Amino acid sequence: MWQRLPVWFRAVMTGLAVAGIPTVVWALLAALNLRLTPRFPWSPLLMTLALWGYWRFLGGDERRRSKPLTSHVWRLALIAGGSAVAAVWAAFAAMRGMLHIVPPADDISRFPIWTIFAAIVMGSAVAGVVEETGFRGYMQLPLERAYGPLAAIATTSIIFTSVHLTHGARILPFLPFYFVVAVVYGLLALLTGSILPGMALHFTGDVLMFTIQYLMLKTGAAGAVQTGRIEPIPALMAIAFGVASVISFRFLARDGRSIAGVPEPVMSH
């Protein structure tokens, strides 16, 4: 019965399940930890074991799309993807004064810093591992094979961005930036044939982002000042990182694509 369903439906549902189940588990564990014993971060320790078991459960490198890469492709992927993500967040910094940023309702700054830092690292690891595996692995790969890379990356990026609406209306100003980052991770998976570079960048980016958000909460700078203008220095940085990313992706497309074995689209009826 399952195999008779359209490829797009099976890919989307499987990817959402792979990414969603451990995310919900971690959210419940973290909330319970903060409520019961906020001074002792036991939930990251427990989730580390659960995440390791989940990774093993998901299958081998081919099913997870997690095949090892050469050091050369790793370097190109991290430079291309890293500079692209840096360009996106520099653009966000440049436009921050034009966006209506609402500070989080929950004041997590009241919790011990070691508990919050452990939660940031673990939450970033969960997001990096399961979201890349679910969206760029189990969802995007079947879509690439059935409908081609453009449709696959567009679909996974739209769904990835839409899933973040679960955070509420305050996430709306961030959604265009999340979409572009999702496209970057999709391109990395396509051109390298592996989710590992995207996983590394996703984890690192989330650690930096959540740490900055935490520090802004501590200093009372979480809300954005409505200046109505684009800041020139971050804008120039966004352009510089963007140019570096385009150049690096061209090299990656040349050197990584042959290694990845990018599949030709085969239409499924």
Task: Read off the tokens for 16.
Answer: 């959402």
Per-residue pLDDT of 89-128, as tens digits, reads 999 999 988 887 776 666 677 788 999 999 999 999 999 9
Assign 41 to helix, strand or coil: coil
Question: Which ranges constitute the DSSP H helices of the chain?
Answer: 7-36, 42-57, 61-64, 71-95, 113-126, 140-147, 149-163, 175-192, 196-219, 232-260
Distance CA 111, CA 118 (A): 12
CA distance 103 to 206: 17
> Quick one: CA torsion of 153, 158, 163, 169, rounded to 10 degrees?
150
User: From CA 83, how far away is CA 159, in angstroms rounded?
Assistant: 24
Return the bridge partners of 66, or none: 194
Kindly report, residue by residue over 167-216, the tens digit of the pLDDT. 888 889 999 999 999 999 999 999 999 999 999 999 999 999 999 888 87
Two tokens, residue 51: 């995440």
